[in-house]
């Protein structure tokens, strides 16, 4: 029997119901995993080229419905329509890229010389549980689906109940090209995730989301020693050096790196570190850029670049962080403009803010805000800036901004981050060839890059030592290898 239905409102117009889905109870999760295990036999045995061709065909079917999917995603998430189109287009690219790279990466590696013969084969794990968040529901699933599927795994996706619809259709389209039960969806909340992650028929878990949920999933997977890939939160610092470009192009890029998806992105800029001598100049340039590029309003309206936050609770949390900092003497500067046709009272809207005069130990600085606000911290020396940037137990991403690229790379080497951008941040700095993931408590494992494909495989080795092959010199029965 299905669990209770999940209803999803439009965060831009909370009186509008986007739709509802039935939550999968543990029995339905069990049945889904059972079907996946049956499908695994044939899919893993399918020749690599045929798997890749099927994934490409699925990507083509998604591309054919891109506009309708983008509107659906905008309505369920509150992300602006151009961002939703961009995300879906990039997801299609990721699926195709995964297929292209797999045909080179997943062939057997053979070494045959006087030392012996070694064959390294890349074996799929089996059934992969992909637990994904609401804020980029399709691309964060595609980064798991593409590599896992081309590697011969089958996948069960558990989306966020805050964004269940677009990804469900994407999985349906992809599955129509791959065959029955190779890729499936189970909808639900924490109970569904627990049933899936803890299932004995799941061979690997790939998770993207917040630290609290990540801790629970890692602990549950650990009980059955199920291997995991964890991409958790970040509190990314953007470190501007003394020679940083504060011109319009750079500042427009920095503002959007902060406030895209209303700041609800794990790799968004969360802290701005600025030389004290340039603080006033920076604030003026940043505010001017925000006036150019931030227009708050309904995600479906033309020209709107920032929409609501996802829930009332999210709005309350971010508002409380800003108000609390203000009670301690900080100043919140409202940024950007409001679209003329917007009715902000209908949704979970927050005006984006730049917070000045905040202390380094304020929760607005030490916690991941995950909303449309960002603090500015002035520094007097590079060593102080590095100490500020490296504070805390998160290490997802960071950025260095400088006219001297060599110096920027040298400073980046001293930052505690899994991925450091130079003169950009967030999605404009991503590359399919560069592995992405965190250090410290921002997770483990990598997506993107060749590493992102290989993450979903296990290297299995066959070895015939040269000493014991025909004509070999032999080796003592208890000897160590030479």
Q: Pairing relation of β-strands 127-131 and 154-158?
A: parallel
Residue 126 burial class via C-beta count within 10 angstroms: exposed 0-12, middle 13-18, buried 19 and up: middle
Report CA-CA distances (Å) from 239 to 23, 48, 205, 223, 402: 43, 44, 34, 40, 9
- Quick check: is 52 catalytic? no
Structure tokens at 94: 């990721």
Q: What is the dihedral of CA 446, 129, 88, 266, to 10 degrees?
A: -50
Q: Catalytic residue among 231, 368, 447, 455, which?
A: 231
Given a contact cutoff of 8 angstroms between Cβ atoms, the answer to whether 360 and 385 are in contact is: no
**CA–CA separation, 186 vs 127, rounded Å?**
14
Collapsed DSSP state (helix, strand, coil) of residue 60: helix
Task: Give the burial class of 63: count Cβ atoms within 10 A of its Cβ; 0-12 exposed, 13-18 middle, 19 or more buried.
Answer: middle
Helical spans, DSSP H, in 396-479: 405-412, 449-454
Q: Which residues contact 310 (CB under 8 A, 6 or more apart)?
A: 11, 77, 78, 134, 135, 162, 264, 348
Q: Which helix (H) or strand (E) holds 20?
A: strand 13-22
Residue 231 a catalytic site member: yes
Q: Are 459 and 107 in contact (CB under 8 A)?
A: no
Count of other CB atoms within 10 angstroms of residue 67: 12
87, 266, 416, 447: the active-site residue: 266
Closest CA to 294 of 90, 80, 13, 10: 80
Closest alpha carbon to 269 in 285, 281, 251: 251
Residues that are catalytic: 231, 266
């Amino acid at each position: 029997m299905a669990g209770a239905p999940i209803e999803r409102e439009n965060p831009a117009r909370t009186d509008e119901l986007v739709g509802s889905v039935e939550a999968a109870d543990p029995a339905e999760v069990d049945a889904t995993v059972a079907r996946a295990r049956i499908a695994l036999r044939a899919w893993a045995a399918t020749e690599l080229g045929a798997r890749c061709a099927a994934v490409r065909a699925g990507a083509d079917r998604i591309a054919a419905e891109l506009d309708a999917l983008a509107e659906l995603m905008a309505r369920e998430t509150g992300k602006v329509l151009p961002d939703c189109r961009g995300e879906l287009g990039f997801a299609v690219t990721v699926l195709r890229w995964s297929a292209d790279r797999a045909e080179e990466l997943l062939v057997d590696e053979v070494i045959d010389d006087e030392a012996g013969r070694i064959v390294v084969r890349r074996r799929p794990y089996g059934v992969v549980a992909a637990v994904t968040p609401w804020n980029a529901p399709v691309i964060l699933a595609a980064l798991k689906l593409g590599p896992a599927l081309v590697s011969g795994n089958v996948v069960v996706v558990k989306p966020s109940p805050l964004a269940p619809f677009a990804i469900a259709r994407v999985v349906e389209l992809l599955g129509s090209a791959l065959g029955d039960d190779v890729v499936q969806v189970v909808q639900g909340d924490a109970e569904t995730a627990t049933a899936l992650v803890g299932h004995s028929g799941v061979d690997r878990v790939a998770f993207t989301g917040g630290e609290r949920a990540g801790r629970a999933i890692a602990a549950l997977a650990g009980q059955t020693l199920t291997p995991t890939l964890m991409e958790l939160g970040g509190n990314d610092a953007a470190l501007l050096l003394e020679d940083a470009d504060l011109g319009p192009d750079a500042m427009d890029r920095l503002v959007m790196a902060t406030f895209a998806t209303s700041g609800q992105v794990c790799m968004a800029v969360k802290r701005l570190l600025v030389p004290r001598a340039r603080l006033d100049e920076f604030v003026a340039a940043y505010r001017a850029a925000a006036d150019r590029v931030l227009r708050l309003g309904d995600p479906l309206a033309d020209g709107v670049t920032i929409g609501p936050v996802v829930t009332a609770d999210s709005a309350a949390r971010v508002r409380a962080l800003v108000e609390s900092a203000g009670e301690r003497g900080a100043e919140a500067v409202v940024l950007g403009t409001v679209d003329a046709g917007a009715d902000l009272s209908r949704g979970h809207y927050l005006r984006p803010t730049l917070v000045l005069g905040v202390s380094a130990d304020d929760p607005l600085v030490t916690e991941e805000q995950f909303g449309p606000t960002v603090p500015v911290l002035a520094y007097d020396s590079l060593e102080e800036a590095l100490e500020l940037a490296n504070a805390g137990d998160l290490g997802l991403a960071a950025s260095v901004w400088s006219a001297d690229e060599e110096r920027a790379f040298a400073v980046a080497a001293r930052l505690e981050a899994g991925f450091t951008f130079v003169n950009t941040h967030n999605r404009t700095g991503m590359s399919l060839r560069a592995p992405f993931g965190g250090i410290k408590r921002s997770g483990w494992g990598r997506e993107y890059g060749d590493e992102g494909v290989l993450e979903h495989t296990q290297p299995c080795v066959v070895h015939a030592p040269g000493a014991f092959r025909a004509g070999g010199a032999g080796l003592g029965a208890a000897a160590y290898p030479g």
